[in-house]
Amino acid sequence: MSASVVTPKRSLLDRLPVIHQVRQSVGLQRGMLVVGLVITGVFLLTALFAPLLAPYGYAQLKADGVNFGAQQPPSAEHLLGTTVGGYDVLSRVIWGTQTAFAVMVVAVILSIFAGVILGLISGYIGGWVDRVLVVIADAVFAFPTLLLAIVAAIAISGGQSGFWSGVFAAAISITVVYIPQYFRVIRAETVRIKSEAYVESAKVIGSSTPRIMFRHVFRNATRTLPLLFTLNTSEAVLTLAGLGFLGFGIEPTSAAEWGYDLNRSISDVTSGIWWTSVFPGLAIVLVVLGVTLVGESLNDLADPRLRTRRRASKGAPVLTAETSTVPGGSLDGAVDLSDLETKS
């Protein structure tokens, strides 16, 4: 028995959410995660230091009393050229990160709160509340998401607006689309957890329904959320760009928005002016790619069946499979080897 392991307390560094996963991963999975983290990190830093990084303001048309001029090719003054409206492309791309970040945060926070609470109530209480909510969620699912977002954008802001109202309009229209997703996930988890023995044991103890819902079900049901949330942020960026591209986004004078810039550059493409469309487009692709890579890797790492591990070495192993052969079980921390028995 003495050969068994006392599970060492993990160091603080190891317990931090993302760092723990980086250390846990190997090979391709680690590569994906690190690339995703780097891209996301660059995006966040750019958003944070946009005022320092951008050479001009997002709505600036002239410097020192001289107009930039429209559709100027890349030069020393304008590293990435200017747009058809006479804005500096580089500055618009850098300021655009702020808008994208604001929309991501607002959209995800709004949809998580509403989705989680509705899902919890619907799954745990059940009955007609559940049926009505599920039908509504299904109906929202059945709509084309972009159409729904357009309708919401028009209803909220009349289509065009300033920075915060524009951000909120975009965020709320995205929220409407994403609430059903969170609702579905949380409801399914809640229904599963409801029949777990620990919920039943709380019931036989005599716990009140709110106590069971929030102390026992809530925390266990929301474990998968971080994964869903990283995947949805990337979709939020896409929806925002889609809205902007269709002309329902934020006005260029209120904030820089990549979708709007892409829209304005359509005619440039045929006349050989490539810099107005390539850079905003690249920015969208990179942000979506970075966030998706992080989300996918976290998702794979959270699932022991998808997680790749280093091969066991041919040498003598450090640990010994523990059996509970001391009557009543050993007193040392148990290495959970039950999965060896059940793995087929």
Contacting positions for other proteins (CB under 8 A):
3, 5, 7, 24, 196-198, 200-208, 211, 215-216, 219-220, 304, 309-314, 316-325, 327-331, 333-338, 340-341, 343-344
Query: Residue 121 Cβ, how far from other proteins at the closest point, in Å?
Result: 18
Query: Residue 310 Cβ, how far from other proteins at the closest point, in Å?
Result: 6
- Measured from the CB atom, is 44 or 335 closer to other proteins? 335
Q: What are phi and psi of 167, to 5 degrees?
A: -60, -45
Q: Is 318 exposed, middle or buried (0-12, 13-18, 19+ CB in 10 A)?
A: exposed
Query: Residue 23 Cβ, how far from other proteins at the closest point, in Å?
Result: 11
- Measured from the CB atom, is 7 or 67 closer to other proteins? 7
- Measured from the CB atom, is 76 or 312 closer to other proteins? 312
- Measured from the CB atom, is 107 or 298 closer to other proteins? 298
Of the chain, the end-to-end C-alpha distance in Å amounts to 27
Among residues 255, 217, 248, the alpha carbon closest in space to that of 95 is found at 255
Among residues 205, 270, 255, the alpha carbon closest in space to that of 91 is found at 255
- Angle at which helices 17-24 and 275-302 pack, to 10 degrees? 80
Query: Residue 10 Cβ, how far from other proteins at the closest point, in Å?
Result: 11
Residues 6 or more apart from 35 whose CB is under 8 A from it? Answer: 290, 293
Query: Residue 26 Cβ, how far from other proteins at the closest point, in Å?
Result: 10
- Measured from the CB atom, is 160 or 220 closer to other proteins? 220
**Torsion angle defined by CA atoms of residues 171, 44, 306 and 191, in that order, rounded to the nearest 10 degrees:** -30
Q: Are the C-beta atoms of 236 and 228 separated by less than 8 Å?
A: no
- Measured from the CB atom, is 144 or 315 closer to other proteins? 315
Query: Residue 191 Cβ, how far from other proteins at the closest point, in Å?
Result: 15
